[in-house]
Amino acid sequence: MLGIIGGMGPGASALFYDMIRSKTDAGCDQENLDLILLSHASIPDRTEAILSKDESRIRALRDKLLADAIFLQNAGCTAIAVTCNTAHCFVNMIEDEVEIPFIHMIRETAEAMASEFSGKRVAILATDGTIETKLYQDELLKQGVIAIIPSEEIQTLIMSEIYGYIKSGKPADEKTWMKIEEYIKAQGCEAAVLACTELSVVRRELSLGSFYFDPMEIMAERCLDFYEKRGEVKKRG
């Protein structure tokens, strides 16, 4: 049984569940993957905690995520996925304290991009918190990929798309997105990572093409791979 720590935000968690469902070749209910989705929407904002540099706020958030992971472990889950890129800063702090593995969205994405984009420029579109922690920069560097961080002006537009639109329950703003895309392509980027789960929602709403890599979709595939190897999910493909 897969455990999912979600609610960060709820729309992205619902999309992740749909990804799991749609990628499973199930002919009936019983051939789908058993899972528990823990939608912890009230957990404090990850970016705010990171940017505050307040050790007490950071530790409190870390402890909440650890409690969620242990809850899922005790409920019988055998792996955990976290549907928030920024929260992986805290996953890195707690993964050694949990007996079951995390299917780590950032590492899986970097590995998935390694062969095609080694030595190439790839844009990281993320929250200020994810950029600050260098989660993607460090993992992509290990794979030989050149991570490009947006300018301050473009980063403001990305945060507006995340917080002003998707997290506020509004549809993605296409005009804002076109400005973002024009900028990153002008920087010579050959791909972009949608390194915030709200941007996964943008991808679906605006029907973004193959230029964009969606870490949440990669994590969904790895979750299914994890259980396939153990014979617990019907073989796909």
Q: What is the mean pLDDT of residues 169-194?
A: 97
Active-site position among 77, 89, 189, 196 = 196
State the Cα–Cα distance between residues 189 and 150, nearest whole angstrom.
11
pLDDT at residue 236 above 60? no
| CA-based R_g, the chain, Å | 17
The pLDDT value recorded for residue 154 is 97
Specify whether 28 is catalytic. no
Single out the catalytic residue among 84, 89, 189, 223: 84
Q: What is the pLDDT of residue 150?
A: 97
CB 39 within 8 A of CB 7: yes
Tokens of 140: 């992509």
Q: Residues of the chain with pLDDT > 90: what percent?
A: 90
Q: Rounded to an integer, what distance in angstroms lies between the CA atom of residue 213 and that of residue 145?
A: 14
Report, as an integer, the average pLDDT of 217-234.
77
pTM of the model: 0.89
Strands of the 191-194 sheet, one edge to the other: 146-148, 121-125, 191-194, 212-213
Confidence of residue 228 (pLDDT cuts 50, 70, 90): confident
pLDDT at residue 18 in the model: 94
Cβ atoms 61, 90 nearer than 8 A: yes
Question: Does residue 196 carry a catalytic annotation?
Answer: yes
pLDDT value at residue 26: 84
Q: What angle do CA 194, 198, 202 make, to 5 degrees?
A: 75
How confident is the model over 116-158, as pLDDT tens digits?
999 999 999 999 999 999 999 999 999 999 999 999 999 999 9
Instruction: Name the band, by pLDDT with cuts 50, 70 and 90, for residue 97.
Output: very high
Mean pLDDT of the chain: 93
Specify the pLDDT at position 237. Answer: 37
Q: Is the pLDDT of residue 230 over 70?
A: no
- The whole-number average pLDDT for the span 70-91 is 97
Mind giving me the DSSP string for 87-153?
Answer: THHHHHHHGGGSSS-B--HHHHHHHHHHHHHTTSEEEEE--HHHHHHTHHHHHHHHTT-EEEPPPHH
Is residue 231 predicted with pLDDT exceeding 50?
A: no
